[in-house]
């Protein structure tokens, strides 16, 4: 889980806390992540932290339960998120579940990735996509991911929005670690980490998993947090089922 950024675009509503500590309803995003991961039997959570890392550690200590949590610190978190994923290169080994920390979603959505038969898959939302330049896109054919990145692919195929959750296996996680090393060595620390993922996924059998009509939101802006509050009743209803 990447949770190192300062979330400057949310400064007007965040009170200066890391995005993963934003409160939606009565719980922080992080508390909800921990509950979902524990319920799904994930053996360990590795969190990449940076901005106000002590606050994240304190929240984990309050809510982690039996889930082992390991912290990796990225002192260069202000330089770009690719360095946060690079910080976790040592744990990119075998089957790895990847997720951004600034997400709100029901547990069944995460379960759809964990339980997907494919060793490597990307969770996507195929609902009509209106590009504002912020979302990460996935192009696929026959449910196979061919591209992930911010740009519109020249050959559109089926273009969906990436949710920010993926599962890497069959050597893809190790290849991603090597690609990240190449990016950082070349000084490409301003790149999106999805650019490294795109390179690592070339030639891999990366499947896509659709969210269907399940609610979710990535929280980057104050209006996203407002939307999250609006989606919360439906999400909590799904979590009780």
Q: What is the pTM of this model?
A: 0.95
Which residues, 6+ apart, have CB-to-CB distance to 195 below 8 Å? 82, 149, 183, 188
CB 117 within 8 A of CB 143: no
* Per-residue pLDDT at 169: 95
Residue 58 token pair: 């304190």
* Per-residue pLDDT at 22: 97
* Per-residue pLDDT at 69: 98
* Per-residue pLDDT at 220: 93
Which residues, 6+ apart, have CB-to-CB distance to 110 below 8 Å? 36, 37, 40, 99, 165
Domain boundaries, the chain: 2-240
Quote the CA–CA distance of 96 and 44 in Å, as a whole number.
10
* Per-residue pLDDT at 132: 62
User: Block means of pLDDT (10 residues each) for the chain, length 241 residues?
Assistant: 95 95 97 98 97 98 94 95 96 96 98 96 86 81 92 75 95 97 95 96 94 96 96 98 90
Q: Which CATH number fits domain 2-240: 3.30.420.40, 2.60.40.420, 2.30.30.60, 3.90.550.10?
A: 3.90.550.10
CB 194 within 8 A of CB 136: yes
């Amino acid at each position: 889980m990447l949770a190192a950024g300062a979330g400057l675009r949310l400064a007007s509503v965040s009170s200066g806390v890391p995005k993963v500590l934003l409160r939606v309803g009565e719980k922080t995003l992080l508390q909800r992540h921990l509950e979902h991961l524990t319920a799904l039997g994930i053996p360990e959570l590795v969190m990449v932290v940076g901005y106000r890392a002590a606050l994240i550690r304190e929240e984990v200590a309050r809510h982690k339960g039996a889930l082992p949590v390991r912290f990796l610190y990225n002192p260069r978190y202000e330089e770009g998120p690719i360095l946060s994923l690079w910080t976790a290169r040592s744990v990119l080994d075998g089957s790895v579940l990847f997720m951004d920390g600034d997400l709100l979603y029901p547990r069944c959505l995460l379960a759809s990735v964990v339980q997907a038969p494919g060793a490597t898959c990307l969770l996507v939302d195929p609902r009509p996509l209106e590009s504002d330049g912020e979302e990460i896109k996935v192009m696929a054919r026959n449910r196979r991911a061919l591209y992930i990145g911010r740009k519109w692919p020249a050959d559109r195929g089926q273009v969906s929005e990436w949710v920010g959750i993926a599962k890497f296996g069959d050597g893809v996680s190790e290849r991603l670690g090597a690609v990240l090393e190449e990016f950082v060595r070349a000084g490409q620390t301003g790149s999106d980490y999805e650019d490294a993922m795109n390179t690592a996924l070339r030639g891999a059998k990366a499947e896509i998993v659709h969210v269907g009509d399940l609610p979710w939101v990535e929280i980057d802006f104050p209006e996203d947090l407002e939307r999250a509050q609006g989606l919360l009743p439906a999400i909590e209803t799904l979590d009780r089922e």
